[in-house]
A and B are shown apart, each in its own frame.
Chain A
Amino acid sequence: MSNALVLQNKRDEAMEKIGKFRETNIMDANNVGKAEKLNEAKRRIVYYFLELAGNNLTVSKDQLKTMNQEQLKEVANFIAEKARKRAFLQACFYIFPVIGWMVFTFRSRMIFTSFWYLYYRKILMNAYGENYFPYNNLMVNDIFQPLIGLD
């Protein structure tokens, strides 16, 4: 029981309890939302990583799986460096609609690969720092399959 001389009435107590429930619910929802977002980023970055590795380095997923964690981290950083310039160009295409739409129509699957790779890399780096690369996601076959034309 509170030590105050004037206590809350029953309605105040009920509303205070509901307020606490709502705060907890919002916090839980935020935590769940954050975790979901990170899981999604892990799945997507692996997909874009494999796409870029296949295009730039001409290596397959099975070959990449044979590499250890440190080596994969270096490859991921190397791809990020290469992707920066291309991501800028991709953004330019997006900014100039006519050219952007043409490329988007013909190469929809690949158009924003570098851009999204860097985007998800940033999300994961914000969450996990230097060891952002989701090694485990690469090792399992949980690969993100984007809908053509929407990535």
Chain B
Amino acid sequence: MVGLNVRILDYMESIERLHEIIIKFGTKIDGIRNDNYSLPFHHWLPFLAFYLALQAQAKTLEYLNDKHVNCGLAWDEDIGLPSLPSLIADVGSYIRYFNPQGGLHMLLESFCGWSLFEKEEISCCCGSRSFKLRKVALEIMFNHILEVQESSVVVKQFLGVRTDDLNHLEHHYNFKKQSQRIDNLYMIWLCRNEVKNNGSLEIEYLGSEQAEVFNLPGFQNRIMKLII
């Protein structure tokens, strides 16, 4: 169900609200870091990415608006957060104006669609009868999808592998889901978090799936570096 209770907030109020939310998110992340949650840290990676997106939006609003020229922000009262299309548009503006480097650029871009996160090369003999190792060039693709569900936002995180070597794609991963949009792209990491901001901020882990050969600790480190 799509949230319909949208209000246009004055830019000052929207920035204030955003900062309040960012502080709440930050406190939550500290709690996760201090192991106050029973689940492993990597279960909260979509939430961390969402936090970065909100920070990017706040910076964009501060940069674009002043008392002379400003624009209101659509705020979804049902979820207690900026409306998601506005959020995605502001994240896109952040990339355009601030041009962040490295992983942050890729991560923020992934809210607007599939983005190239990294390029890698692997020695692999998958699908080869001779078991002779060959070099396979991989593109690690990243995507986030935000969905409103009643009074909460579900953040879906996808990480996929794209290559022209179909033998590798077919045989290397014990878990994979083919992308509907991009050819030769198989998702090897899916994770979902639910974020509720009804006065107090609540986060919930909805599940994750991953291929055995996906280096989750390495991925977690890359995301963590962006937050610090």
Name A residues whose Cβ lies closer than 8 Å to a Cβ of B. 1-9, 11-12, 15-16, 19
Whether B213 and A9, one on each chain, are in contact in the complex, defined by CB atoms closer than 8 angstroms, is yes
CB distance from A7 to the nearest CB of B (A): 5
In the complex, whether B95 has a CB less than 8 A from a CB of chain A is no
Q: Which chain A residue lies CB-closest to B217?
A: A1
Which residues does chain A contribute within 8 Å of B101, judged by CB atoms?
Answer: none
The closest CB in chain A to the CB of B131 belongs to A15
Q: Would you give the 0/1 interface string for B190-228, flagging 1 where the beta carbon is closer than 8 Å to chain A?
A: 000000000000000000000011110111000000000
> With A11-B131, A15-B131, A16-B133 given, is the CB distance from A6 to B123 under 8 Å?
no
Q: Which residues of A contact B188 (CB under 8 A)?
A: 6
Tell which of A3, A4, A6, A12 touches B133, judged by Cβ atoms closer than 8 Å. A12
CB <8 Å contact, B215 and A4: yes
Please report B residues at the A interface, Cβ cutoff 8 Å.
Answer: 117-118, 120, 122-126, 131-133, 138, 140, 159, 161, 172, 188, 212-215, 217-219
By a CB distance below 8 angstroms, the chain B residues around A3 are 215, 218
CB-CB under 8 A from B214, the residues of chain A are 5-7
Residues from chain A with Cβ under 8 Å of B120 in the complex: 4-6
Q: Is the CB of B133 within 8 A of A7?
A: no
Give which listed residue, A1, A6, A11, A19, contacts B122 with CB less than 8 A. Answer: A6
Q: What A residues does B172 contact at CB under 8 A?
A: 6, 9
Q: Which residues of A sit under 8 angstroms from B126, Cβ to Cβ?
A: 9, 11-12
Cβ distance A29 to chain B, nearest Cβ, rounded Å:
20
Distance (whole angstroms) from the CB of A104 to the closest CB of chain B: 47
CB closest chain-A residue, reference B189: A5
Using Cβ atoms and an 8 Å threshold, which residues of chain A touch B123? 8, 12, 16
Which residue of chain A has the shortest Cβ distance to B142 in the bound complex? Answer: A5
The reply to whether B133 and A19 form a contact with Cβ atoms under 8 Å apart is: yes
CB neighbours of A8 from chain B (8 A): 122-124, 213
Expressed in whole angstroms, the minimum distance between the Cβ of A47 and any Cβ of chain B is 46
In the complex, which of the residues B124, B140, B159, B215 contacts A1, with contact meaning CB atoms closer than 8 Å?
B215
Q: CB distance A5 to B124 under 8 Å?
A: no
B213 touches A6 (CB 8 A): yes
| Contact A5 B125, CB 8 Å, known A15-B131, A15-B133, A16-B133 | no
Contact A5 B131 (CB under 8 A): no
Task: Provide the residues of chain A in CB contact with B159, threshold 8 Å.
Answer: 5
Asked whether, in the complex, the Cβ of A11 is within 8 Å of the Cβ of B215, the reply is no
CA distance A12 to B161 in the complex (A): 17
State A4–B218 Cα separation when bound (angstroms). Answer: 7
Closest residue of chain A to B138, judged by CB? A6
Give the distance in Å from the alpha carbon of A12 to the alpha carbon of B126 in the complex.
8
Query: Do B131 and A7 touch (CB < 8 A)?
Result: no
| Cα of A20 to Cα of B125 in the assembled complex, Å | 15
Would you call A6 and B131 a contact (CB within 8 A)? Answer: no
Q: What is the bound-complex CA distance between A7 and B214, given in angstroms?
A: 6
